[in-house]
């Protein structure tokens, strides 16, 4: 950009500071708030282990588990979503439990105010598809031994 045009813009372009609670516009691919779908969660806990900022907590219980997410601790890195997607693909599921919104997370005033906790019942694992019938035994490939030494 031409230096004079830049100076002109800086002098006469007005203030760029947004006053609270106004929010900056974000691009379509902005990685924002993590969304959780308990219907799709298998309780593998991969997201918890991937989240180094401890925004996700996971506790296994008897027949159920609790999963929590605190946006106030989240750095929006997306590692949990990647892990959940990879896990779903490995398990052959078309959908995964975690996604990320392209919008900014809501404003909060108290620590932990946005934290959400879900208690999810463990589902029985889906039955594995029946094994294909074994191929018919092939004809022996070696000739039977014919007698011993003379």
Cα(131)–Cα(133) distance, integer angstroms? 6
List binders of ligand SF4 among 69-128 (CB under 6 A).
74-80, 83-84, 87, 97-98
33 binds ligand SF4 (CB under 6 A): no
Least distance (Å) from ligand SF4 to the CB of residue 89?
A: 12
Instruction: Out of 53, 102, 111, 117, point to the residue binding ligand SF4 (CB under 6 A).
Output: 53
Cα(96)–Cα(37) distance, integer angstroms? 8
Q: Classify 118 in phi/psi space as left (phi over 0), alpha (psi -120 to 50) or beta.
A: beta
Q: Supply the DSSP symbol for 103.
A: S
Least distance (Å) from ligand SF4 to the CB of residue 87?
A: 5
The CB density around residue 55, as the number of other CB atoms within 10 Å, is 21
10 binds ligand SF4 (CB under 6 A): no
Residues engaged in binding ligand SF4 (CB under 6 A): 34, 41-47, 50-51, 53, 55-56, 74-80, 83-84, 87, 97-98
């Amino acid at each position: 950009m031409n230096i004079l045009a830049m100076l002109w813009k800086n002098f006469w372009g007005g203030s760029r500071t947004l006053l609270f609670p106004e929010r900056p516009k974000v691009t379509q691919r902005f990685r924002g708030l993590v969304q959780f779908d308990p219907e799709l969660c298998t309780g593998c806990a991969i997201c918890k282990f991937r989240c180094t900022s401890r925004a996700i907590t996971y506790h296994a219980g008897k027949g159920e588990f609790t999963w929590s997410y605190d946006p106030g601790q989240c750095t929006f890195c997306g590692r949990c979503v990647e892990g959940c997607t990879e896990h779903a693909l490995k398990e052959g599921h078309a959908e995964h439990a975690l996604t990320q919104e392209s919008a900014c997370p809501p404003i909060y005033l108290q620590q932990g105010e946005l934290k959400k906790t879900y208690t999810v019942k463990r589902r029985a694992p889906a039955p594995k598809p029946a094994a294909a019938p074994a191929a018919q035994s092939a004809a022996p490939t070696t000739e039977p031994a014919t007698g011993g030494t003379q």
